[in-house]
Structure formats: structure tokens, C-alpha cells
Amino acid sequence: MDNNEGAYRSFQEWYLKVTKLEQKMDFIASQYDVNYGQYLIMKYIIVDHCDEPTLLANAFGISRPAVSRKLNVLFKKNKIVKKHNDPSDQRKVHLVLTAEGKSDLAAMDLAISSGLVKISWQTRALIWDCSKNKLIMS
């Protein structure tokens, strides 16, 4: 097997493990009427203080309109509220998790962390976000 074939097989293995892991995370999140991507948005609002749509767009590397669509879904599900702290500029929005959103996030964190105990250290390594050098779920 040459180097390219080995790299390709390693990538295939990585991709399959990440896909299975994402399916597990989606399953956990679905118990709380969200998907894993929506869970991550809620997590970023609380942990990384990305409480503005522009900050979330930058964090996820997506456009502001794409973030707004994602936030509107969370708003309709009563997971977040949009606060307008500056009466002179209604465009400035701060995002806050509702009591339901906070409760669901804590429950998902617990379910995900207890689920990770069953995952091998090799698979856990795949969770690392190399660009930030930290766990996606931390």
C-alpha cells in the first residue's frame, strides 16, 4: 500500500467514526427537540459568550443570514430569546437561553458526557477541533 492509499484509508476510517459520532450526538439532542448543530449553538451562547448573531456566524464560519435562520428555529422552539438592549438600535440583538433552553442544555451535556465514557480514546480524539485545539463539547 502506498502513502496515498494509506492516507485515503485513514481518512475513510476517520470520516465513518465522525459520522457515527454525529449520529449519536443528534440522537441525544433529538430527545430535547433539537439537533446537534442547534445544541452547539446553545453551547456557544453559554460557554463562549457568543451572544450575538455576528459572533456565532464567525464562530461557525457561516453567513449572518444562515445564523439568523438557525436562531429563528431555536427561538420558535423556546430555547432562546432575543434581547434588544439598545433602544436606539433595534438591530443589535443579544441571545439568551430560556429556562427551558438552559435545562435542556444541562441535560444534553450530562447525556453526552456519560455517552462519551463508552467511546474509545481513539474516537474521542476525533472530537477535537484542531483549529481551536479544544474539545468541541467543552
Give the domain 3-135 fold.
Arc Repressor Mutant, subunit A (1.10.10)
Task: Tell me: pLDDT of 64 over 80.
Answer: yes
Q: How confident is the model at residue 5 (pLDDT cuts 50, 70, 90)?
A: confident
Q: What is the rounded average pLDDT of the residues 55-62?
A: 93
| Domain locations in the chain as residue ranges | 3-135
115-135 pLDDT, tens digit per residue, is 765 666 556 555 554 434 444
25-46 pLDDT, tens digit per residue, is 889 999 999 999 999 999 999 9
pTM score, two decimals? 0.76
String of DSSP letters for the chain: --HHHHHHHHHHHHHHHHHHHHHHHHHHHHTTT--HHHHHHHHHHHHS---SHHHHHHHHT--HHHHHHHHHHHHHTTSEEEE---TT-TT--EEEE-HHHHHHHHHHHHHHHHHHTTS-HHHHHTTEETTTTEETT-
